[in-house]
Amino acid sequence: MVGWLLGNRIVRDDRYNGFHRVCDAVVLANPASELDEIAEACCNDDGTLRFGDLPGLDRRRDRASSHGRALHVHPGLTSPRLVSATEA
Q: What is the pLDDT of residues 34-85, one digit of tens each?
A: 888 888 999 999 888 999 888 998 999 998 888 888 877 776 555 565 554 4
21 in a domain, yes or no? yes
Distance CA 48, CA 12 (A): 8
pLDDT of residue 38: 86
Residue span of the structural domain in which 28 resides: 7-87
The answer to whether position 63 is within a domain reads: yes
The reported pLDDT for the residue numbered 8 is 80
Q: What torsion, rounded to 10 degrees, do the Cα atoms 62, 63, 66, 71 define? A: -30
Q: Rounded CA gap, 67 and 56, in Å?
A: 18
| Residue 65 placed within a domain | yes
Predicted pLDDT of residue 31:
76
> Which range, 7-16, 20-29, 51-60, 62-71, is most confident?
51-60
Write the DSSP assignment of 12-28 as a string of letters. Answer: E-TTS--HHHHHHHHHH
> Considering the domain boundaries, does residue 2 fall inside one?
no
- Domain count for the chain: 1
- 1: in domain: no
The per-residue pLDDT for 16 is 66
